[in-house]
Amino acid sequence: MVPRVPDEYFRKRAAESEDVREASSATPEGSRPESPVAPEPLRDGIAPRFLVLVLVMALAAAFIAGRLLIFKPQVTPVPETSATPSVVPSSPDSFAPYDGPVNAVAASAAFGECRGGGESEAVQALIDRDPQTIWRCEGDGRDETVSFTFEKGTLLAGIRLVNGNTVWTGRYGDERRLLSVRWEFADGSFFVQGLSANNANPQEVRFPAVEVSTVTMVVGEATEPGDTTGTHDAVSISMLEFLAPA
């Protein structure tokens, strides 16, 4: 048989009301019933926090728009540049050789000794204006140097020389002939004079007139000697003239 609970447990006690028993049966023993919380009544319209946020955002947008309208950014246009740089041509006269009449002008002194061997006084033959004297240095002549001095205020516009040995009979083709000479001025400027190896006549070069105090001649290239026997291995200048504007 299933145990049966006595009926007296289901009878109402006189001291208890129906509401009290129902409340006590719903709440476990030893715990306090929670107080009911009344829900917050809804308010009509927009919540204050949301309204404040909308106003702040509207003010910020108005401020930014005002700044853009009042203080417009200044944009400086960048000038267009050509892909090819422009070149300003120099004056044609600044590098034009002097083409007027000239006179021969003598140097005050000449200095230089032959590195490859030769007469120590041979350098004087370049300024003595004597057609029977010759400047001659043994060897290939490379880097042989002679320096000339001039009176203050001397203008030069050209140089004329006879390349090779035309003083000694039959030696022009047997000895070396110069192919180039470098002329250096006191201000640091210079030019290279190219020479013909088969021209026994005076060879002249012109340049823009320049005031000089010193001029230095430096020998460059020379031909091989036409005759390799004896004393034919040498370079020579038979005549030299400095030219000034007339």
Q: What pLDDT digit, counting tens, does each position of 181-221 carry?
A: 999 999 899 999 999 999 999 999 999 999 999 999 999 99
Determine, yes or no, domain membership for 24.
Answer: no
Q: Residue 138's domain spans which residues?
A: 97-151+163-245
Burial track 47-75 (b if 16+ CB lie within 10 A, e otherwise): eeeeeeeeeeeeeeeeeeeeeeeeeeeee
Question: From residue 243, how far is each of 30, 101, 126, 148, 161 by CA, in Å?
Answer: 135, 9, 14, 14, 11
Query: Which of 160, 161, 127, 170 shows the shortest CA–CA distance to 236?
Result: 161
User: Residue 68: pLDDT band by 50, 70, 90 thresholds?
Assistant: low
What is the C-alpha to C-alpha distance for residues 204 and 160, in angstroms, rounded to an integer? 4
Q: What is the pTM of this model?
A: 0.61
Q: What is the pLDDT of residue 119?
A: 66
Q: How many domains does the chain have?
A: 1
Q: Which two tokens stand for residue 228?
A: 């390799």
pLDDT tops 70 at residue 28: no
Mean pLDDT of 58-63: 73
Backbone angles phi, psi at 42, to 5 degrees: -70, 140
Task: Name which of 62-71, 190-199, 234-243 the model is least confident about.
Answer: 62-71
Determine, yes or no, domain membership for 33.
Answer: no
**CATH code, domain with 204:** 2.60.120.260
Mean pLDDT of 227-240: 94
User: Residue 155: pLDDT band by 50, 70, 90 thresholds?
Assistant: very high
Q: What is the pLDDT of residue 76?
A: 45
Determine, yes or no, domain membership for 132.
Answer: yes
Question: From residue 241, how far is each of 87, 128, 212, 232 by CA, in Å?
Answer: 38, 10, 15, 25
pLDDT tops 60 at residue 64: yes
**Percentage of the chain surpassing pLDDT 90?**
56
Check residues 85 and 241 and name the one with the higher pLDDT. Answer: 241
Query: Which of 152, 158, 151, 155 shows the shortest CA–CA distance to 211?
Result: 155
Check residues 92 and 186 and name the one with the higher pLDDT. Answer: 186
Q: What is the pLDDT of residue 122?
A: 85
Determine, yes or no, domain membership for 65.
Answer: no
User: Residue 54: pLDDT band by 50, 70, 90 thresholds?
Assistant: confident
Antiparallel, parallel or unpaired: β 180-185 and 190-194:
antiparallel
Determine, yes or no, domain membership for 45.
Answer: no
Check residues 41 and 98 and name the one with the higher pLDDT. Answer: 98
Determine, yes or no, domain membership for 8.
Answer: no
Q: What is the pLDDT of residue 40?
A: 52
